[in-house]
A and B are shown apart, each in its own frame.
Chain A
Amino acid sequence: MAEMIKLSIFRHDPDGDGKPFMQAFEVPLLQPGMKLLDALNYIKWELDGTLTYRRSCGEGVCGSDGLNINGVNGLACITPIEGLKQPIHVRPLPSMQVIRDLVVDMDHFFDQYRQVKPWLQSDSPLPEHERLQSPEDRERLNGSYECILCACCTTACPSWWWNGDRFLGPAALLQANRWIVDSRDEATGDRLDQVEDAFRLYRCHQIMNCMDACPKELNPTAAIGHIKRKLVSRKS
């Protein structure tokens, strides 16, 4: 008989009485190296088809299955069951409006991403071919461009929990920094103007939950620090 894994999963039925609750499940350990997403899939396909969660690529690239796993945010598809304390508590990303079970409303998160204008802005005439960048300048984008917008960092941030309506949050600020450091972008001044605000940027109090939670091992705290230093150097 296969070893059983104990899980406790956040449930919320919008058509029910409206009260979320934790539901216990037991899933067999299917194979070595089994991931948390495999356990969720087993529950959905074999035990309870009503369990609702987002997933797509299953290999940490799409960023759909960001969840709170045993109290820390991460991606279910790349989190091994081994090493997780049981029962494994699986909850939706913190401080988000729950649509159903583990599915949360991401509109505000993506709206904040849009606010930093995450695209190349340049007034120079288009070159005949592509806009070139030296290998050194390209290297400066490492640690930023890998972000998959899973929201693990932003929803781990207590500053964002209390002031999420005005504080942009780590994911959006990591992206703001990605365009600030891009040698081809010519809107650095506007970008800095946009974030220079007691709430939009400076609500970061270096709690560092973002850095701790990022499943891609990026460091939004360091990116925010870089923006702050850029603002200081602009003044002096």
Chain B
Amino acid sequence: MSEQPVKHQRPTLPRPLSPRLSIYRWRAPMLASIAHRASGVVLILFVPLYLWLLHGMTGSPDHYAATLEWLHSMSGKFSLWLVGLALVYHFANGIRYLCLDSGWGESRAMMRFNAKLVLVIAGVAALALFWMLS
């Protein structure tokens, strides 16, 4: 009878997951994509704020004055800046995605270029809005 080889059973530890989001380098297309989700969330969150503003502006003269004062405060200006930026970015990148969905600008070079382009547009919009609101 041949001798059976002895099997050394090792305790099997769960295999660790290799690191992902914490180590992956952010490139323009990835940034453009996540910024699209983030700006979409900002725009949705603006709806209740917008309704509150409308309610304040159309209530009584006191309400109107208080709302106007809030709009001129730091938090009011920051909200307008953020929403304006989100709107410009979401619009520009939305058009970019529509073009890509239609099959325009699908080369690797164009995908990289138009991601950078919308980020530059957002940067310019951020500065312009800051200048308008300050």
Interface residues of A (CB under 8 A from B): 10, 12, 14-15, 18-20, 68, 70-72, 89, 91-99, 104-105, 156, 158, 161, 205-209, 211-212, 217, 219, 221-222, 225-226, 228-229
| 16 sample A-B contacts, Cβ–Cβ < 8 Å, listed by A number | A98-B16, A105-B15, A156-B24, A158-B20, A206-B33, A207-B34, A208-B30, A208-B33, A208-B111, A209-B24, A221-B106, A222-B106, A222-B107, A225-B100, A226-B103, A228-B101
| Residues of B in contact, count (CB < 8 Å) | 29
Q: Contact check, B18 vs A95: say whether CB atoms are below 8 A apart.
A: yes
Q: Contact check, B19 vs A91: say whether CB atoms are below 8 A apart.
A: yes
Question: Which residues of A have CB within 8 Å of B115?
Answer: 208
Question: Which residues of B have CB within 8 Å of A206?
Answer: 29, 33, 97, 100
Q: Contact check, A161 vs B20: say whether CB atoms are below 8 A apart.
A: yes
CB of A229 to closest CB in B, whole Å: 6
Q: Contact check, B15 vs A99: say whether CB atoms are below 8 A apart.
A: yes
Residue B1 interfacial (CB < 8 Å)? no
- Can you add 7 more A-B contacts, CB < 8 Å, to A158-B21, A209-B24, A222-B107? A14-B13, A92-B18, A206-B33, A208-B115, A209-B30, A211-B111, A222-B106
The total number of A-B Cβ pairs within 8 Å is: 100
Closest chain B residue to A212 by CB distance? B27
- State in angstroms the CA–CA spacing of A29 and B17 once bound together: 32
Question: Which residues of A have CB within 8 Å of B7?
Answer: none
Question: Which residues of B have CB within 8 Å of A95?
Answer: 17-18, 20
CB of A220 to closest CB in B, whole Å: 11
Which of A91, A158, A208, A221 gathers the greatest number of chain B CB atoms within 10 Å? Answer: A208
Closest chain A residue to B105 by CB distance? A222
Name the contact of A94 in the complex, choosing from B23, B106, B108 (C-beta under 8 A). Answer: B23
